[in-house]
Amino acid sequence: MNFPGYRSRRRSFFGYFLVGIVGALIGGLIVGSVVLEQVDRRIASIPKGSFDPGESRMSVPKEIQYSGISGQGLNVAGIAREVGPAVVKISTLRERVYYTFFFERVTQQEEGLGSGVIFDSRGFVLTNYHVIEEAKEIGVVLSDGREFTATVIGGDYYTDLAVLKIDGEDLPYATLGDSDVVEVGELAVAIGNPYGFDHTVTAGVVSALERSVPLDAEQGLYLENLIQTDAPINPGNSGGALADERGTVVGINTAIYAEAQGIGFAIPINTARQIAAELVEFGKVKRPWIGITQVWVITPQVARDYRMGIDHGLAIAGYVRQSPAGLAGLRRGDVITSAGGKDSKSVADLREAVNSVGIGGKLELVIYRDGRTFTVSVSVNEAP
């Protein structure tokens, strides 16, 4: 994935800024949305493997756990030997339907390339969702030349992660590290298949932590808490490994800033580990949801301009009628000033409140409507 320059992952690969003076429109990642329902339907349409979730009734499979390896100070060659065999090339085949000037239906096949990391001896492969999105056929090639047909266990648009499954014997797999201990300035090695150059190894350092980049600027969705690196990453590296001097994978390479040199981003492996565990067990990521689909951020300036009786909040611009929010009596124009006992000054505040309550809980919202303030208790359900 590269962005703007980053050519968006959705064929035009995203713009890096979000236009709007009153805040972001939000989708299901934040509080659930119609967008989430559409994406879930797209994910559900991808053929799933026959994997039995009962095989891994755990929060984190053994092979996904951090090994606790202390730093051995491996050089780049040592890291490549340790991690390289578990990094695979992923080839995809998609079908695009076009209509000619005379309304004739034309189907065109498109090939794609990406990377992945085998993280489990049973053949589970981590990659980016955008690498396999809408793919009809998925092939996996190991560094030893073995080729496999992969099935999709699950994919998650909002974190840009997916898990595939291949069936084989004596499969190499990488040790997943701990991205929470990664420090700026430490060695970073990217392994992947840029432009189809198989199993390419590049090296640099961790340039920064906790970066955010746009996933879908129009919906106000972001990939967050990313690791920034100057290890050269190019198209085709997506889904590959970012490794540390311990010989463990600390990130899944996902994006580059195409207008610059040496600005790439990786999803922290602790995030990927959690998402992978849910995809392996459930085939999807379970998210808390109250059904608000769009909000406008009310800043102090906006509140003054419109002479509102508040100085902050999130104005509801859209919601699902049969959702928890709709059933609780919320409506367009209501302003959420507080959620879970904390001020709601940003989309992140509301998202954090919903997530902290979790599926099955109750969230207390303070609402400003028609010059008065009142409290509403909203159920938090699993996103559809």
Query: Which tokens sit at 145?
Result: 């030349």
Residue 199 a catalytic site member: no
Distance of CA 338 to the CA centre of its chain: 27
46: nearest Cα among 148, 129, 142, 140: 129
Burial 275-289 (b: 16+ CB within 10 A, else e): bbbbbbbebbbebbb
Give the Å distances, CA to CA, from 132 to 89, 116, 140, 211: 12, 10, 11, 24
| Active-site residue (options: 8, 33, 91, 130) | 130
Long-range Cβ contact pairs of 60-65 (< 8 A, separation 24 or more): 60/273, 60/274, 60/277, 61/120, 61/124, 61/277, 61/280, 63/119, 63/120, 63/121, 63/122, 63/173, 63/176, 64/119, 64/120, 64/176, 64/273, 64/276, 64/277, 65/176, 65/273
Residue 312 a catalytic site member: no
Q: Check residue 268 and give left, alpha or beta (phi > 0: left; psi -120 to 50: alpha).
A: beta
β-bridge pairing 288-289 and 292-298: unpaired
Residue 160 a catalytic site member: yes
| Active-site residue (options: 160, 178, 230, 244) | 160
| Active-site residue (options: 238, 323, 338, 379) | 238
**Residues forming the active site:** 130, 160, 238
